[in-house]
Amino acid sequence: MSLLAERTQAITVHKMHPYIGAEVRGVDLSRPLDDDTLRQIKDAWHDNAMLVFRDQNLTEDDQRRFASHFGKVAKRVPPPKGAIKVETVAWDDMMMITDHVDANGKPVGSLGHGEMWFHSDKCYHRTPHRATFLYGIEIPSEGGDTRFASMYAAYERMPAELKRRLEGATVMQGYQYGHGHRIDLSLDLSSIHHCSQPLIVVNPGSKRKGLYAASVNTMWIEGIDREESEKLLRQCFDIIEDPEIIYDHKWRVGDLVMWDNLACLHARTDWPQEQTRMLRRCTVEGEPLY
Ligand SMILES: [Fe+2]
């Protein structure tokens, strides 16, 4: 038996939740991957929307190389001019998610504070980032979980009347920089990144439909009055934030977690402020949704 065949056969996929998430075992992401291994990982990703690889030891280059199999590694997009929060970290393709500061008091990362509600990375750009890759470097002893909600399960659980009503609807997706809760609907759009997107998206990999409604990002349904829009969106948020379709990932140092931003939403739980949480993130670009 060749070494290649041995490596390919070593991979196993273990579901962690009925609706979302699987652990992939038997692969070392610090080494280049053969085509067969990569195909199995992509199949598992399409089937499960979110994957965990435990006990990895990855440099920035390793993480970037792995991510590049799923699309062009994206550069971070700075906030619009005039946004309230200004950061001093580099706007590059790798980002440290932490609120820690260096010996001179300068931030070493960004987006590192406390709880964040459900959202989808870069849904407010014409080409939302397709996949996100997070690597666990320092993990608090409690809290700081990343929560994943299945957009597919949410779509399937929508009442038939709501599906009929919202099929073909478009929504305004936006991002209020540094704000992790329901977006302020009175914001001037020119002051934030925003983009019109379909509310129900067909995933390019799995071809399954998903509900693309996130409380942090989704401002309103276009073409109907705001009160009706908010009522319908609240229904959608309740469906997609139902604990039954959510997997809570409890981090360990060395976890590489990757997910499909067109198949799941993610959120973050709070953790004790005196403890360190540091994750390294990169994303890959996707295609326009219409
Ligand atoms: Fe995020």
- For residue 290, tell me if it sits in a domain: no
Q: How far is the CA of 120 from the centre of ligand 1 (A)?
A: 6
Contacts of residue 196, Cβ cutoff 8 Å, sequence gap at least 6: 170, 171, 172, 173, 222
Tell me the CA–centroid distance for residue 7 and ligand 1, in Å. Answer: 32
Q: Quick: pLDDT tens for 87-104.
A: 556 678 898 898 888 888
Whether 6 has a pLDDT exceeding 50, the answer reads no
Residue 135 falls within a domain, yes or no? yes
**What single-letter DSSP state applies at residue 89?**
S
Which value, to the nearest 10 degrees, does the dihedral of the CA atoms of residues 148, 287, 179, 181 take? Answer: -40
Q: Is residue 289 situated within a structural domain? A: no
**134 alpha carbon to ligand 1 midpoint, in Å?**
10
Counted domains in the chain: 1
- Residues with a beta carbon under 5 angstroms from ion ligand 1: 121
Residue 68 token pair: 């590049």
Considering the domain boundaries, does residue 114 fall inside one? yes
Looking at residue 8, what is its pLDDT? Answer: 53
Q: How far is the CA of 119 from the centre of ligand 1 (A)?
A: 6
The conformation of residue 107, written as its DSSP 8-state character, comes to B
Structure confidence at residue 168 (pLDDT): 97
What is the pTM (predicted TM-score) of this model?
0.92
> Would residue 84 count as lying in a domain?
yes
pLDDT at 83: 62
Task: Indicate which CATH number applies to the domain containing 268.
Answer: 3.60.130.10
- Domain housing 38: 3-284
Percentage of residues in the chain having pLDDT higher than 70: 92
Is residue 66's pLDDT more than 90? yes
